[in-house]
Amino acid sequence: MATLERETSMMCGLHDDFTFGYFNPAWERSAIDNGAPDLLSSYGLGSSWWRCVPAVLAPFLSSAFESARRNAHGHWEHGLSCPSAELERQWRMRILWLPAGGYLLDYQLLAELPHDGADAVRDPIDYRPPGGMFVQCAHCRRMKRPRPPEAWDWVPSHVRSPPRNTTHALCETCFAFFYPGS
């Protein structure tokens, strides 16, 4: 356990029923550093990890846990993007199956760079369909523009403070690149 306590990767332990059983200090620091200290109480020890997962990713991740169990080395890994409003961040997620029971999830930050600013930022209201929900990509965090021309754009204000009526999907690019065969 002392090794996990010193690890700079964000790590959490899950019981077989996918409830949180452990957080390393890096996990706790990340919640605070990203302006979400309430995450530790809202999704604390004993709560279900699946509550943190956008529904659109559940089938993919369910398959990932099964792959980790079946893999001869007991793990599965996947590259992902999880930007903040200011920084583009690339991560590696590893699921390690623990033969004694449960899983260890390891989120390693691979790269962190300022956004290039190439995307034109439109009025955030342009992303809300009439009477509907804002749609944010669960992977890259871009917002779907429902009015023609339909597109997925970078809207930092929605990353910094997502509207309450936001749901998640996968944009076509993330679906094709990060979730092939899903």
113-132 pLDDT, tens digit per residue, is: 887 765 555 676 778 777 78
- Provide mean pLDDT across the span 80-92: 85
Beta-bridged to residue 22, according to DSSP, are 13
pLDDT of residue 118: 55
* Residue that is last in its domain, among 79, 114, 149: 114
More confident residue, 48 or 28: 48
pLDDT of residue 133: 85
Q: Are residues 38 and 109 in the same domain?
A: yes
- Asked if residue 135 belongs to a domain, the reply is yes
Q: Are residues 59 and 138 in the same domain?
A: no
Percentages (nearest 5) of helix, strand, coil residues in the chain: 30, 30, 40
Q: Are residues 105 and 140 in the same domain?
A: no
Domain total of the chain: 2
Q: Are residues 34 and 83 in the same domain?
A: yes
Range of the domain at 10: 2-114
pLDDT of residue 119: 55
Residue 33 CB burial class (10 angstroms; 0-12, 13-18, ≥19):
exposed
Long-range CB pairs of 145-153 (<8 Å, 24+ gap) are 153/119, 153/120, 153/121, 153/122, 153/127
Cβ 53 vs Cβ 167: under 8 Å:
no
Q: Is pLDDT above 90 for 163? A: no
Burial 100-139, CB ≥16 within 10 A → b, else e: eebbbbbbbeeeeeeeeeeeeeeeeeebbeeeebbbbbbb
Q: In what order do the strands lie in the sheet with 75-81?
A: 20-23, 10-14, 103-114, 87-97, 75-81
- Asked if residue 89 belongs to a domain, the reply is yes
- Asked if residue 119 belongs to a domain, the reply is no
Q: Is pLDDT above 70 for 14? A: yes
More confident residue, 21 or 150: 21
pLDDT of residue 45: 94
d(CA 156, CA 173): 19
Q: Are residues 100 and 145 in the same domain?
A: no
- Asked if residue 128 belongs to a domain, the reply is yes
pLDDT of residue 32: 78
pLDDT of residue 158: 82
Q: Is pLDDT above 80 for 167? A: yes
Write the CATH number for 31: 3.30.450.20
- Asked if residue 96 belongs to a domain, the reply is yes
